[in-house]
Structure 1
Amino acid sequence: MSEEILINFTPQETRVAVMAQGVVQELHIERTGSRGLVGNIYLGKVSRILPGMQSAFIEVGLERTAFLHVADIWQPRDPQAEHGREAHKPIEKILSEGQSLLVQVIKDPMGTKGARLSTQISLAGRMLVYLPQEKHIGISQRIEDAAERESLRTRLATLVPEDEPGGFIVRTMAETASDAELVNDIAYLRKLWRDIRDKARVSGAPSLLYHELQLAQRVLRDFVNPETEKIIIDSRENFLKLETFAAEYTPAVSPLLEHYTGQRPLFDLYGVEDEIEKALARRVELKSGGYLIIDQTEAMTTVDVNTGGFVGLRNFDDTIFKTNLEATQTIARQLRLRNLGGIIIVDFIDMENPVHRQAVLAEFNKALARDHTRLTVNGFTALGLVEMTRKRTRESLAHVLCEPCPTCGGRGEVKTARTVCYEILRELLREARQFDAREYRVLASPQVIDLFLDEESQSLAQLSDFIGKPVSLQAEASYAQEQYDIVLM
């Protein structure tokens, strides 16, 4: 499936859309003022150790202290230990407060949580990932052919001198790379690591030692694959910068770069702006007439599949089966578009036929195979739900572009005008028992005041008689439906 990558630049942000067959498959947005931290390397200082959680807070110079779990602390291999690795020591025996520590961000800060760290450093190049603390050669799981995996392992072993430290993971782009390209990648990554170590020696903690590449540069390094036909860039200045970067680090990508000079905005031309709006909606339409409802919460994301108006097949079982099959493709694409991570629960329409279930699960796994992010699918539960996880390293699209609604506080719904009326009546009674005012004035939204003047006028009159004081009403157009004030006159 041929791909095109669109890069839209403005001074405030960089946006990337990955297109396949004219349809947006992935969206990535990086704000100039709040770039992601994943991949950054810091010289940190241990500020607090929590033995009960086997974790530590590390000061790296960010707004919030970062978080390090004992499982993310690299420990040297011990050939005598079972499986070639030592059991984890307690964190209080590994770290001490005030200690300086080389750490790398593996998960961006999210919500109230600080960045998550690891002491196992990895540096990504075009063809390889360098692991300076290890001494082995790994192969990307996306390279599935056993013969190809062994061939790449043998090739790299001949290019890496035995006496030099560090190990490598071979990326998918290495499948078509020449020995010269691999050697260049090895040299670049080892030089980068030397520069980081040299900087660490002369820096005080906390300090930033290495900043991960900007989004547009990561596109050239990480996103391009054999199916990529062109990379279209709508800024001449940044097109020239990326040409220079590609010539030095990713020469094979240089011929794919193309400067867009049209009058119409690039994302409008390809329909990307519309897709961004759709990717923020709760409801996603299916071509058959069915639809998805996607709800993102703090703990998990739920996806509910519905037949909607689709009744086009011979019997109901076939209708359900076809809707679920179509939904697998759309769900996989929406996970990428929205960058949804963590626990994901998919509620397909109930299928009694076990053959249908297996076919839907197989199609879902096939659709998810395009995803570059690590994920696991656990199959159908006893309740007919599909449980899965998708690695979360950066904020979702909704969290980048949106904030909780100030009217409903992020609940997704507001109290009815009648509910607010009854709250006001209770509050008036409360105030009358506490304060002796001449009059009480209610300031509320027009919808609430209209209800008091019409259907709830008798309720208000009864309360006024009961407390023995007049109650006046004042509509405030700027008030949200749940907002009100009671003024003592």
Structure 2
Amino acid sequence: MQDILINWAPQETRVAIVENGAVQELHVERALERGQVGNIYMGRVARVLPGMQSAFVDIGLERAAFLHVADVHVAGQPHAGSRGDAAQPTPIERLVFEGQTLVVQVIKDAIGTKGARLSTQISIAGRLLVFLPQDDHIGISQKIGSPELREQLRARMNRLAATADGSPTGGFILRTNAEDAGDDELADDIAYLRKTWAAVRERGFASPPGTLLYQDLSLVERVLRDLAHDATGAIRIDSRMQFDILKAFGDEYTPGSAAKLEHYKGERPIFDLFNIDAEIARALARRVDLKSGGYLIIDQTEALTTIDVNTGGFVGARNFDDTIFKTNLEAAQAIARQLRLRNLGGIIIIDFIDMGREEHQGAVLAELRKQLARDRTKVTVSGFTQLGLVEMTRKRTRESLAHLLCEPCPTCAGKGQVKTARSVCYDILREILREARQFNPREFRVIASAAVVEMLLDEESQHLAGLSEFIGKPISLAAEATMSPEQYDIVLL
């Protein structure tokens, strides 16, 4: 059984999914930094790049967005989600041209220096269905039951989606939570989605490029649509105003989830109930301690995320092989949770502790796959490589928790380390010598951090005096409290 806690403020919404007293997922949405995934825009093609089979499209955001040929809808071809790999795409220069206006949808937020990724294959998510206005096929979630049940659902959907006058119906994908839905619920979702799309098209006819035509639901609304399910016990929200808004939305679109809504009136902040703020702080740390005494080191880079497993102080088992095996099993459970908690995506490399026995490797991989099966985000695990590493990918659509809440350190510029005071001292001595060959000031004044100045006055005083004598100029020192360890200035007086 899981509980969903919603902490709402005008500037930020935070959602925690808690199972058995432990936080499993965290979702954060800020009013001024709301993600664009799912949004539909009227775009204008700014540049076509045949060599990359892609185009840059201006949708009114800070950076031009990116459209790849694989994400361009071509009439008569099925939606990307159902298209076989064998389909040979038409070259992008024959599909779009500079200055062309296109209705596009964001499928991946801008991350780091990369602009948002777009598709012209539009899809609009409802409570039970995903609507594909440019298609006419019915798709069924692979997580739904048996092939026989999927065929029954497909037949029902074909009947419900048919229009009396035979006009184009659009395609639909049944979401996992549609498995037990009645005909009335499905029909309501079909009508809602078609109405939404009709409004988007109407707006598109009269809107200039850069116009937002449709915005996906807010995080609190997506809690009811996407995050709540049969195993959800209670959905508690700490804002009376938002509770009333959410209740009205839920009663219309997600009555099953709306019945679980509760207004939290406690004096303690809602996130204090399960110590969630401390969990967020731990989710931003490199090191994750395991109950056994082992630990994980998680490093997130632009290209990939690496996770290193270490035994630490765990010596509980009778022999070393069992110690390693039990640490790796515990690590597999913790890694799956950390990926959800931190919203880590892209390529992920896991360095489990080396195991000598193949059955141990197989058991750890099976445990990892079992734990990852709970993830609502698409995950692919490739298994152990020749180097003993596990390669996997997790679909990345939004910024990770660390990228959302943090920024690179201004002192180390994201390197994670700074030069020692001695290294900076030697940089300063070399710089003074270089400048003494070009200029002839009365005096050199060094302004640096207190630690650097202290070292120049103490341990490096002999070298400083020797340089002063060699260049024939006095060198004075001044400490500046606001300077970072690597910063310094050399002033010519």
TM above 0.5: yes
* The one of 451, 454, 473 aligned to 1:450: 454
> How far does the alpha carbon of each residue in 1:186-236 deviate from its partner, in whole angstroms, 9 at most, with x for none?
110111111111111122223111011111111111111110111100000
- The aligned amino acid for 1:208 is L
Deviation at 1:279, TM superposition (A): 0.4
- Distance in 1 of aligned mates of 2:266 and 2:236: 11
Deviation at 1:152, TM superposition (A): 2.3
Deviation at 1:60, TM superposition (A): 1.0
Instruction: Determine the structure 2 residue equivalent to 1:90.
Output: 91
Gaps of 5+ in 1: none
Instruction: Determine the structure 2 residue equivalent to 1:72.
Output: 71
Instruction: Determine the structure 2 residue equivalent to 1:325.
Output: 329
Instruction: Determine the structure 1 residue equivalent to 2:47.
Output: 48
- Distance in 2 of aligned mates of 1:401 and 1:230: 27
CA contact (8 A) 2:317 2:323 kept: yes
Deviation at 1:147, TM superposition (A): 3.5
Deviation at 1:140, TM superposition (A): 1.3
Matched, 1:377 2:381: yes
Residues 295-374 of structure 1 mapped to structure 2, 5 A cutoff: 295-374=299-378
Instruction: Determine the structure 2 residue equivalent to 1:248.
Output: 252
Residues 382-397 of structure 1 mapped to structure 2, 5 A cutoff: 382-397=386-401
- The aligned amino acid for 2:332 is T
CA contact (8 A) 1:45 1:98 kept: yes
CA contact (8 A) 1:77 1:86 kept: no
Distance 1:281 1:78, change over 3 A: closer
- The aligned amino acid for 1:28 is H
CA contact (8 A) 2:229 2:257 kept: no
Instruction: Determine the structure 2 residue equivalent to 1:62.
Output: 61
Task: Name the % identity.
Answer: 65
Matched, 1:110 2:111: yes
Instruction: Determine the structure 2 residue equivalent to 1:133.
Output: 134
CA contact (8 A) 1:7 1:234 kept: yes
CA contact (8 A) 2:224 2:258 kept: no
- Distance in 1 of aligned mates of 2:425 and 2:87: 65
Distance 1:84 1:289, change over 3 A: closer
CA contact (8 A) 1:233 1:260 kept: yes
CA contact (8 A) 2:383 2:390 kept: yes
Deviation at 1:18, TM superposition (A): 0.8
- Distance in 2 of aligned mates of 1:298 and 1:53: 21
- Distance in 2 of aligned mates of 1:382 and 1:48: 43
Instruction: Determine the structure 2 residue equivalent to 1:222.
Output: 226
Q: Which moved more, 1:401-410 or 1:130-139?
A: 130-139
- The aligned amino acid for 2:62 is E
Deviation at 1:83, TM superposition (A): 6.1
Instruction: Determine the structure 1 residue equivalent to 2:188.
Output: 184
Deviation at 1:78, TM superposition (A): 5.8
Deviation at 1:486, TM superposition (A): 1.0
- Secondary structure at the aligned position of 1:378 is classed as strand
- Secondary structure at the aligned position of 1:61 is classed as coil
Tell me the TM-score normalized by structure 2: 0.96
Deviation at 1:137, TM superposition (A): 1.2
- The aligned amino acid for 2:337 is R
- Secondary structure at the aligned position of 1:394 is classed as coil
CA contact (8 A) 2:161 2:169 kept: no
- The aligned amino acid for 1:312 is G
Instruction: Determine the structure 1 residue equivalent to 2:469.
Output: 465
- Secondary structure at the aligned position of 2:33 is classed as coil
Instruction: Determine the structure 1 residue equivalent to 2:408.
Output: 404
* The one of 267, 286, 291 aligned to 1:287: 291
> How large is the RMSD of aligned CA atoms in angstroms?
1.5
Q: Which moved more, 1:129-138 or 1:379-388?
A: 129-138
- Secondary structure at the aligned position of 1:33 is classed as helix
- Distance in 2 of aligned mates of 1:138 and 1:83: 14
- Secondary structure at the aligned position of 1:28 is classed as strand
- Secondary structure at the aligned position of 2:212 is classed as strand
CA contact (8 A) 1:78 1:85 kept: no
Gaps of 5+ in 2: none
- Secondary structure at the aligned position of 1:359 is classed as helix
- The aligned amino acid for 2:306 is T
Residues 24-43 of structure 1 mapped to structure 2, 5 A cutoff: 24-43=23-42
- The aligned amino acid for 1:265 is P
Tell me the TM-score normalized by structure 1: 0.97
